[in-house]
Amino acid sequence: MAEEEEASWDQTLDEWLISEGYCYAAGMAQLEDGNFYAAAPVADEAGWGFIFKEDHEQMIMQDDMTEKKMTINEGTALKFLADNHKAPPTGLWFGGEKYAVTRVDKNFESGDASFVFIFAAKPKKGVSIAITKTQVICAFYDEEKGQVGGNCTKAVVAFAEYMAMAEEEEASWDQTLDEWLISEGYCYAAGMAQLEDGNFYAAAPVAEEAGWGFIYKEDHEEMIMQDDMTEKKMTINEGTALKFLADNHKAPPTGLWFGGEKYAVTRVDKNFESGDASFVFIFAAKPKKGVSIAITKSQVICGFYDEEKGQVGGNCTKAVVAFAEYMVGLGY
């Protein structure tokens, strides 16, 4: 599923930045590391060749005007640019070519969106860079291909506006979960995932992003009982486990895990009805804790209760069911 998601971002870049002919290449990186995970053009994976080169050595001018051979990691350079809004000491490199930063706008506005905009150039070529809350979007133009910087920038700004608004929407889902499932005190944590991959994209409580710590843990190894009653160390991917549950309405062979804790599925209702809404309802528990799960046609909603916090399964389920009914009513 991760490969499919990355492929879809490649295609998205192609549609937004390549198809009109304003840019000959484009890439998108996570702000947290600066490493490209999507590139265009998609055909023959040509985009990757244009925008990225594995670590390479270059002669870099030092402060004392001498040159020194240094290893260039292009992802690290882009991360430095995104964090500091200036080129790193080794320079800004894409696809083995060095670009000079010529413009930085730390508060670029387009429509209702605001982001950092940076422009960098080399002879007859340039790159327009938009930095949103989580993404670094880069688009490249080449005058020898009949392209100009203005049109490339126009395309990048339009796509960055779209991405920035999408990020705001995701943040708003965190707040929505907080209001529906946390504020009344019936749940201590909640999460929402896309049915297509099982990966949480919203979590609550929102304050200090506490929800994420309660509901999710990166891949971890656990001893899992096998059919022959022996135990085997296995890697747990909690998103994959939730996806299996949503698709098959039963726990996966490795068990159902949230935040590094294992839950036992105790109830499955494949045709749960509430008001005019119908969805799958699943309940899973561990000692003194539990999770109520509603699966609509596109979303997986999870609400968690803890008896030691004075919460009970019935109220948690009530809150999850009400929110699931609301989501179904919105078309989710």
Write down the pLDDT at residue 1. Answer: 31
Fill in the DSSP letter of residue 244: H
Write down the pLDDT at residue 121. Answer: 98
Residue type, 291: V
Reading the block at residue 146, the tokens are 């009949």
List the one residue out of 249, 253, 218 whose CA is nearest residue 234. 253
Return all residues near 27 (Cβ < 8 A) that are at least 6 apart.
Answer: 13, 36, 38, 39, 40, 47, 51, 52, 94, 137, 138
Q: Is residue 75 within 8 Å of 85, Cβ to Cβ?
A: no
Q: Give me the helices (H) in the chain, please.
A: 2-13, 46-51, 74-84, 149-177, 210-215, 238-248, 313-329
Alpha carbons 168 and 189: distance in angstroms, whole number: 21
Alpha carbons 72 and 57: distance in angstroms, whole number: 6
pTM: 0.58
Return all residues near 196 (Cβ < 8 A) that are at least 6 apart.
Answer: 1, 298
Write down the pLDDT at residue 231. Answer: 86
Domain ranges in the chain are 2-169, 184-329
Residue holding tokens 């790159």?
Answer: 127
List the one residue out of 295, 252, 299 whose CA is nearest residue 271. 295
Per-residue three-class SS string for 167-225:
HHHHHHHHHHHHHHHHCCCCCCEEEEEECCCCCEEEEECCHHHHHHHHHCCCCEEEEEE
Residue 41 — left, alpha, or beta (φ > 0 → left; ψ -120 to 50 → alpha)? Answer: beta
Asked whether this chain's domains 2-169 and 184-329 adopt the same fold, the reply is: yes
Distance of CA 96 to the CA centre of its chain: 27
For every residue of 49-69, DSSP letters joined together read HHH---SEEEEEE-TTS-EEE
Reading the block at residue 100, the tokens are 């000079």
Span 2-169 CATH architecture: 2-Layer Sandwich (3.30)
Return all residues near 84 (Cβ < 8 A) that are at least 6 apart.
Answer: none
Span 184-329 CATH architecture: 2-Layer Sandwich (3.30)
Alpha carbons 121 and 140: distance in angstroms, whole number: 9
- Per-residue confidence in pLDDT tens, the chain, 332 aa: 333 344 578 999 999 999 999 999 999 999 989 999 999 999 999 999 999 999 999 999 888 999 999 999 999 999 999 999 999 999 999 999 999 999 999 999 999 899 999 999 999 999 999 999 889 999 999 999 999 999 999 999 999 998 888 777 666 889 999 999 999 999 999 999 999 999 999 999 999 889 999 999 999 999 888 888 888 898 999 999 999 999 999 999 999 999 999 999 999 999 999 998 999 999 999 999 999 999 999 999 999 999 999 999 999 999 999 999 999 988 88
